[in-house]
Structures are given as C-alpha cells and as structure tokens.
Amino acid sequence: MGKATGFMEYPRREDPWVAEDIRIKSFEEFHEHLSEEDRRKQAARCMDCGVPMCQSAICLKGMVTGCPLHNVIPEWNDEIYKGHYEYALARLLKTSNFPEFTGRVCPALCEKACINGIESEPVTIHDNELFLIEKGFEQGYMKPRIPKVRSGKKVAVIGAGPAGLAVADQLNHRGHEVTVFEREDQIGGLLMYGIPNMKLDKSVIARRRELMEAEGITFKTGCDIGRGKAFDQIVKDFDAVALCCGAKKARSINVQGFEDCKQAVYAVDFLKQATKDLLSGKEGKWTVSAKDKNVVVVGGGDTGNDCVGTCIRQGAKSVIQLEMMAKPPMERQRNNPWPEWPKVLKTDYGQQEAIKVYGSDPREYETTVKELITKKGKLTEIKTVKVRFEGRNLVEVEGTEKKIKCDLLIIAAGFIGCEDYIAQESKVELTQRGTVKTEPEQYKTSLPKVFTAGDMHRGQSLVVWAIAEGRHCAAEIDKYLMGYTPLI
C-alpha cells in the first residue's frame, strides 16, 4: 500500500500546531495542515506490511492497540497517495461514521500499532483521516444519503454523544425512523460540552447535525428523559430504545469540605460552562473564571490537560496539575515492546502552553490533595502529599506534605458510571462499576426492547470506542427489529 519505498524516502511530518504564545490568545482550533503534495507523501509511507496491525484493535496486557473501528487504513492511504480522494473517503466511511471527530480528538491507537513504529516513526494515520473528511466536505462529496426505503420501525436514541449519534446514523441508513433525545441545548455530548473549542470547533458538530437531519434523523434537544419526560412513555412510543447517556457521574476526592467548597468544581462542569460562555459571546466574562487565579487541576489525563489549556486562555495566574501515578519514561521500556500501547511520557498541548507561559511543566506526579485550607470561607491553599502504591493500595509518603496556593480547584479524576437519575427512571440493571449491565459483547439490557452503548455501557472511554459501540449496538437493534442485519 502507498509507495513501496515511501517509508524510506519520506520522514514523518505531522500537521503543525500554531505556536503556544499565539494559540493561547484565542479558543480557535490550533492545528494547521500540510499541503496536498505533502499529505500524499505521508500517505505514501504506508508500507505493504502484509499484516496491518493498525486496524486490529487487539488487547495486549490489558490495553488495546489498533483501531477499534477496524478502519481499512492501508486501502485509503494508498488511494490518498494516488490522489483518488473520493474513493479513499468512501473506504473510510465504510467503517467510520464521524472521521471529523476522531481525526481531531482520537489519541490514534492505529498509529501505535503501525509497523513503521518498530524502527522509525509510524504513518500519520490520524492526520490523513482528517485530511480525507475535510476534503470530502470541501469538494462536496459529503452529500445527504437519504434511504430509498423505510422499514416502518421507529427507534429512540437517548443521548446525542458519539455513541448515540453512531446508533442513529447506522439505523437511519438502514431505513428505520430515528429520533434522538438530548438533554442539552446542542447535540454532541462531551464532544460539545466536554472537549474545548480549540481541539474541536463546535461548527464541526453543527455541520454534521445538518447533514444527519437532511438524511432524515430527528433531534429533540433540551429533552431530559427522567426529568420532565417519562422513560416509560418513550418505550411505549418506539419499537426499540438505545440508552447512550454516557458515564458522567464524576469521581470525587476524599477530602473533607470538598463538596461544600464553592471554589472547587468538577472538570466536566468547568469545561461545559466555558464552552457555553464562549458560544453565547461571554468570552472574558466567564461564569467560572480562572483569570488571575492560582489553579490546581487534579488529574493527569486528557481532561485535566484540557482544563490546563482552558485556564491559560482565561488568564490564570498559575496552573499546577496533580497526578497520582508515577512519571512515565521518556522512551519505551524493554517490557513494553511494539505493538503494545507505548507507556511513555506524553506532553500535550495544555502542558506545552503551561511550559511556555509559566516556565515549567505543570505536572506533579505521585501527588494528591490531602486538605483544603480556607480563609473566611474561601479557598486559599491546599495541602498535598506524595503517594505510592503498595500492591493495589495507595498510601501516603510520610513527611511529604506541602502547601500550594489555590484559588480554584478543578477535579478531573474521571467518572464512576452513569448518572443515578436515568438509571432509576429506566429501572435498568447496573453493574458494580455503575454501567448498564448486558451479556458480554452484547448490547441488550435487562429491559424488553431497550439497548445500550458507549460510556454508559463500556465505562469512561475514548470517542472512537463510543462510535464503535454505537455501530455494534445498531446492528443488534436492527437484528432485533428485522430478524437479520447487514450492519457491522
């Protein structure tokens, strides 16, 4: 695939990022793009490897490597190299519903499994994917595909995040009548109100909604099932129901006074409000503002990094990011060989910006919050402590406490399952992890004609996994409705 000797002729070149000191001045997307000629060269690096691990999605030592959507990556890389963009896009869309989302926010499990990564640098699969879908919209390839025949079956999808959108997209193209219920004022789930605008401009979501509506899908926003509209009525009105409400129950921290502290917020609430303020023209008049504040972010993952980047753009005085885990190595260790997921240090855009603005990496490893210190009821400092794992137990390291100035504490410690009210309203059976219970590798819940997908089913995960879950759930629903399914 690609050019037989391309991987030896062309070095890896990623889409460049706008310089830190420039991009922090706005919430605009900071990714720039290579020329078409250079993009074709990058696609040419896809070698005829024989066994394309990039599309495998295999689990090694508890971590997945390779694309969960099983995108036929070598095929469309070859077509990009040849300049056959429309055909390349058609191959991509066979397995991927929303490349414009994954092409922006996916950590590229595919690239970690690229065979070029053994001795050199993997193919820029992530950037190639984004190039294809944006070329498709630019050239008019992305036209509404309206089903010629309707089945007469009605499906309700509750939740318009990536999993719900994938369920809706698949079933609509199969010919079913799909209505998507979303409690927020906009569709997208965490794509809209969890991922900042500089990573995913919200016009991209609006563009996809317009296309899906033109294809026949009905979106009902501001409709919170379980709070105002009864779940039982939805079940009565539709032939099948897909629960795709996410796993938005945030994990708290075991620190006295946290829940009552007005200067302590969950990351999901902070990022959601920042996006709402931005879209409503309130930039600079933030509802929850980091301006001129000493901010501490608890959590070292992607969400924590997004909080760091958002706080910098709001004008934070300082930002520190606490991570309970040890600092990863700079390079792969011998016990972490290809094609396993590389357990190496990643310095993302937010951390890069913090280094530029404040002069040092904001992350403090093996550290957690021990105490909140207030003055006249207002948070002024936190006390931290070093921690380490003894087996599975997290223990404090004696004598390592220290105080840090903190005017705003943001908790980005992940999620612990779906929110209580939707589970209680639907009476769906849950697992011990707070996710909806199904048989292994199945999507049918304990309730008649009710299915589930995405984080609500899998637990907190990646956008690409949510889309993959949505596709499999749609196939199971279709088989339930029609007795068979051509969907995958």
Structural domains in the chain plus CATH codes: 6-139 (1.10.1060.10), 154-248+416-482 (3.50.50.60), 264-411 (3.50.50.60)
Six-digit token string for 83: 């300049």
Paired strand residues for 93 = none
Nearest by Cα to 159 from 146, 173, 178, 172? 178
Q: How far, CA to CA in Å, does 126 sit from each of 107, 348, 364?
A: 8, 16, 29
> Which bin fits 151, alpha (ψ -120 to 50), beta or left (φ > 0)?
alpha
340 contacts: CB under 8 Å, gap ≥ 6: 60, 61, 63, 65
User: What's the rounded Cα separation, in Å, for the pair 98 and 384?
Assistant: 41
* Enclosing H/E stretch for 364: strand 363-365
Give the pLDDT of residue 3. Answer: 84
Predicted pLDDT of residue 1 = 60
Task: Estimate the share of the chain in helix, then strand, then coil, as percent rounded to the nearest 5.
Answer: 35, 20, 45
The pLDDT assigned to 308 comes to 98
Question: Within the chain, which residues score under 70 in pLDDT?
Answer: 1, 228
- Pairwise CA distance, residues 362 & 367, whole Å: 12
